[in-house]
């Protein structure tokens, strides 16, 4: 039995509270709206969950302190727009050892943070930096969970033990929980699928049929996956429960408010009025601004998301938006980069016996922090075999003017202890990169996006060059500066990437 606090008494918070209480957990639900607490505790009914009687043992409180203090696990179940405020209100009563589970689905405008990133960011301001965060997401309509219909979901956390603990706490015969380490991918799916569901609803409202809905689901998934892969998420996440699973349910179910809102818009109801008529949060609309910014930042094509934006905020009639989508330039269903991989793959298969895809990355990997681990995990996800070319001490000093905390041997040992790094070899000079591509039969060359463009010349060697996004707010230079400052030692060289000639052919 776990002591659980649920922050948010909307449909999802209450449905989860009922399920967790019935499976023997001690559950306290908080809402920012005191009248909601009074009504729920007196009537034991939620207006949007007609088939459910809330168990007597589920406690309700208007005190966020009572909901947070002493709880092993806290569930953030408020709509995305209230998440930051709720995290700020909860922060004074939280401790580092509580597991924080987010079930809200969205992306914050301006910061472009996913929901767990919003919680992390807000708690950091209040001095809480290590509390484990989990995203719990999947095809889970509250209306069905509330009446005990079988449901599946994903518990996403970079710490597998924490993901498994949440799996154990939530799992029961009507609620099957899978784990997944790709938190960002799971959260991206949860936010962007709501926009695609709006599009599916708009098509229904226009009187289009199942063919159009199936097309929007499939092509919507293609653009969501394209964005996720560009952001460094796992491709498999998008074909999993949090991805295609949640998109199918949201774009087809009568319980989906995004779908319903879209249907009203397709029937000609103005967007604000459609949201008012739905009467509950329509997260697809909230997620639009951040999704459009991410699309721009990562340079991916997202025509369906753009069409929804044109209808909602650009004054374009739904029928005209569909016409635009249908008459776009002719395309191949398989993207050109994927075709390239298939092509290269075929050639490589003929050239060598193994069809293993090899990925290579370069770096100093000093202090091996979370940002590095994330980069390596994402690099490995791009292939089957990951080679790390580790700057030797001489190379660091002579060519990068860098001091390292750990020696080459120590850094090599650390890298070799990570289970997804397959080979560590030394980097002695910049020029070796070209020959490494051939010697190690490399398919994909990966660097952090602070090097964007600097290694494009390697495409000439027949490899794909990928720049992966850096983990926000983690910087080796900053960590080192802090360490040097703390030790009163002389800081390291200020050489930047721009000062380095990455491919001195001469
Ligand atoms: N309903 C579902 O089936 C479902 C399933 C999975 C995930 N989700 C996600 O969970 C989140 C919540 O969804 P929901 O269906 O419970 O929404 P909802 O519209 O039912 O929730 C409204 C609730 O938000 C809370 N609230 C209102 N004003 C607030 C404020 N100022 N500060 C803090 N809280 C306030 C109140 O408790 C209110 O009941 C959304 O992000 C949604 O995408 C919902």
Question: pLDDT by residue (tens digit) across 130-186?
Answer: 999 999 999 999 999 999 999 999 999 999 999 999 999 999 999 999 999 999 999
Q: What is the CATH number of the domain that holds 203?
A: 1.10.1040.10
| Average pLDDT score over residue span 204-212 | 95
- Give percent of the chain above pLDDT 70: 92
Same-domain status, 71 and 8: yes
Probe residue for ligand 1, chosen from 35, 154, 277, 281 as the CB with the greatest number of ligand atoms within 8 Å: 281
Residue whose C-alpha is closest to residue 302's, from 283, 287, 317, 315? 287
Rounded to an integer, what distance in angstroms lies between the CA atom of residue 291 and that of residue 305?
Answer: 8
* pLDDT at position 88: 98
Tell whether the model's pLDDT for residue 489 goes beyond 70: no
Parent domain of 367? 336-499
Task: Please provide residue 7's backbone torsions phi and psi, each rounded to the nearest 5 degrees.
Answer: -100, 110
> For residue 71, is it within any domain?
yes
* pLDDT at position 306: 97
> For residue 504, is it within any domain?
no
Same-domain status, 52 and 160: yes
Question: pLDDT by residue (tens digit) across 188-204?
Answer: 999 999 999 999 999 99
- Interacting residues of 327 by C-beta distance below 8 A, sequence separation 6+: none
Same-domain status, 240 and 173: no
Check pocket membership of 136 for ligand 1, CB cut-off 6 A. Answer: no
Annotated catalytic residue, options 105, 193, 295, 480: 193
Domain C-terminal end among 326, 353, 385: 326
* pLDDT at position 506: 41
Q: Across all residues in the chain, what is the average pLDDT?
A: 91
Q: Confidence band (pLDDT; 50, 70, 90) for 487?
A: confident
Same-domain status, 452 and 476: yes
Same-domain status, 246 and 390: no
If you compute the radius of gyration of the chain from its CA atoms, what whole number of angstroms results?
25
Question: pLDDT by residue (tens digit) across 83-132?
Answer: 999 999 999 999 999 999 999 999 999 999 999 999 999 999 999 999 99
Domain C-terminal end among 153, 180, 207: 180
Domain C-terminal end among 148, 180, 212: 180
> For residue 215, is it within any domain?
yes
Q: Confidence band (pLDDT; 50, 70, 90) for 503?
A: low
| Average pLDDT score over residue span 308-313 | 96
> For residue 415, is it within any domain?
yes
Tell whether the model's pLDDT for residue 433 goes beyond 50: yes
> For residue 267, is it within any domain?
yes
Check pocket membership of 283 for ligand 1, CB cut-off 6 A. Answer: yes
Check pocket membership of 180 for ligand 1, CB cut-off 6 A. Answer: no
* pLDDT at position 351: 47
Same-domain status, 421 and 489: yes
Tell whether the model's pLDDT for residue 82 goes beyond 70: yes
* pLDDT at position 496: 62
Check pocket membership of 424 for ligand 1, CB cut-off 6 A. Answer: no
Check pocket membership of 187 for ligand 1, CB cut-off 6 A. Answer: no
* pLDDT at position 492: 58
Query: Is 193 in the active site?
Result: yes
The model scores a pTM over 0.75? no
Q: Confidence band (pLDDT; 50, 70, 90) for 355?
A: low
Residue of minimum CA distance from atom 6 in ligand 1: 140
Tell whether the model's pLDDT for residue 419 goes beyond 90: no
Measured from the Cα of 31, ligand 1's closest atom is: 37
| Average pLDDT score over residue span 279-293 | 93
Same-domain status, 308 and 424: no
Same-domain status, 456 and 472: yes
Residue 371 vs residue 342, higher pLDDT: 371
Report yes or no: 444 and 358 within 8 Å, Cβ to Cβ.
yes
Same-domain status, 353 and 491: yes
Residue 255 vs residue 263, higher pLDDT: 263
> For residue 154, is it within any domain?
yes
| Average pLDDT score over residue span 498-505 | 63
Tell whether the model's pLDDT for residue 403 goes beyond 90: no
Residue of minimum CA distance from atom 18 in ligand 1: 10
Same-domain status, 239 and 115: no
Same-domain status, 271 and 287: yes
Report yes or no: 448 and 477 within 8 Å, Cβ to Cβ.
no
> For residue 331, is it within any domain?
no
Same-domain status, 122 and 264: no
What's the domain count of the chain? Answer: 3
> For residue 506, is it within any domain?
no
- Choose the most confident range, by mean pLDDT, from 150-154, 332-336, 396-400: 150-154
| Average pLDDT score over residue span 245-260 | 94
Check pocket membership of 9 for ligand 1, CB cut-off 6 A. Answer: yes
The label of the residue with tokens 């099957």 reads 176
Residue of minimum CA distance from atom 42 in ligand 1: 104
* pLDDT at position 340: 58
Q: What is the CATH number of the domain that holds 54?
A: 3.40.50.720
Check pocket membership of 10 for ligand 1, CB cut-off 6 A. Answer: yes
- Interacting residues of 140 by C-beta distance below 8 A, sequence separation 6+: 12, 151, 152, 153, 246, 249
The interaxial angle of helices 183-205 and 257-266, nearest 10 deg, is 30
Check pocket membership of 139 for ligand 1, CB cut-off 6 A. Answer: no
* pLDDT at position 147: 97
Q: What is the CATH number of the domain that holds 449?
A: 3.40.50.620
Probe residue for ligand 1, chosen from 5, 7, 13 as the CB with the greatest number of ligand atoms within 8 Å: 13
Rounded to an integer, what distance in angstroms lies between the CA atom of residue 455 and that of residue 474?
Answer: 22
Question: pLDDT by residue (tens digit) across 30-69?
Answer: 999 999 999 999 999 999 999 999 999 999 999 999 999 9
Probe residue for ligand 1, chosen from 15, 78, 85 as the CB with the greatest number of ligand atoms within 8 Å: 78
């Amino acid at each position: 039995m776990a002591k659980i606090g649920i922050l948010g008494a909307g449909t999802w918070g209450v449905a989860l509270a009922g399920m967790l209480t019935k499976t023997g957990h001690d559950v306290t639900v908080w809402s920012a709206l005191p009248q909601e607490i009074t009504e729920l505790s007196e009537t034991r009914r939620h207006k949007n969950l007609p088939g459910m009687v809330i168990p007597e043992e589920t406690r309700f409180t208007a005190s966020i302190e009572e909901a947070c203090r002493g709880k092993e696990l806290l569930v953030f179940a408020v709509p995305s727009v209230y998440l930051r405020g709720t995290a700020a209100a909860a922060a004074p009563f939280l401790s580092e050892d509580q597991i924080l589970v987010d079930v809200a689905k969205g992306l914050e405008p301006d910061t472009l943070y996913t929901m767990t990133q919003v919680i992390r960011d807000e708690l950091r301001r209040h001095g809480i930096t290590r509390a484990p965060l989990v995203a719990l997401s999947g095809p889970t309509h509250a209306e069905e969970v509330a009446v005990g219909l079988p449901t599946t979901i994903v518990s996403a956390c970079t710490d597998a033990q924490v993901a498994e603990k949440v799996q154990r706490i939530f799992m029961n015969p009507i609620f099957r929980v899978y784990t997944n380490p790709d938190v960002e991918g799971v959260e991206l799916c949860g936010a962007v699928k709501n926009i695609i569901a709006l599009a599916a609803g708009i098509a229904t409202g226009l009187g289009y049929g199942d063919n159009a809905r199936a097309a929007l689901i499939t092509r919507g998934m293609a653009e969501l996956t394209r964005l996720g892969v560009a952001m460094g998420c796992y491709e498999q996440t998008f074909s999993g429960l949090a991805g295609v699973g949640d998109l199918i349910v949201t774009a087809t179910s009568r319980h989906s408010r995004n779908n319903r809102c879209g249907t009203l818009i397709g029937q000609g109801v103005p967007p604000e009025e459609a949201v008012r008529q739905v009467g509950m949060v329509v997260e697809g609309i909230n997620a639009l601004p951040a999704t459009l910014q991410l699309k721009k930042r990562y340079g991916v094509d997202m025509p369906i998301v753009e069409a929804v934006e044109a209808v909602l905020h650009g004054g374009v009639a739904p029928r005209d938006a569909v016409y635009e989508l249908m008459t776009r330039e002719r395309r191949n269903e398989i993207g050109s980069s994927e075709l390239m991989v298939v092509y290269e793959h075929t050639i490589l298969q003929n050239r060598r016996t193994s069809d293993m895809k090899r990925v290579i990355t370069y770096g100093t990997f000093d202090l091996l922090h979370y940002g590095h681990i994330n980069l390596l995990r994402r690099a490995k996800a791009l292939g089957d075999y990951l080679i790390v070319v580790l700057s030797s001490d001489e190379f660091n000093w002579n060519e990068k003017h860098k001091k390292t905390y750990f020696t080459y041997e120590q850094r090599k040992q650390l890298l070799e202890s990570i289970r997804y790094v397959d080979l560590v070899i030394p980097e002695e000079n910049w020029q070796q990169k070209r020959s490494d591509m051939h010697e190690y039969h490399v398919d994909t060359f990966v660097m952090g996006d602070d090097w964007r463009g600097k290694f494009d010349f390697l495409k000439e060697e027949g490899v794909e060059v990928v720049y992966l996004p850096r983990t926000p707010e983690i910087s080796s230079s900053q960590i080192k500066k802090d360490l040097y400052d703390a030790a009163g030692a002389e800081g390291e060289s200020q050489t930047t990437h721009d000062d380095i000639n990455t491919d001195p052919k001469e």
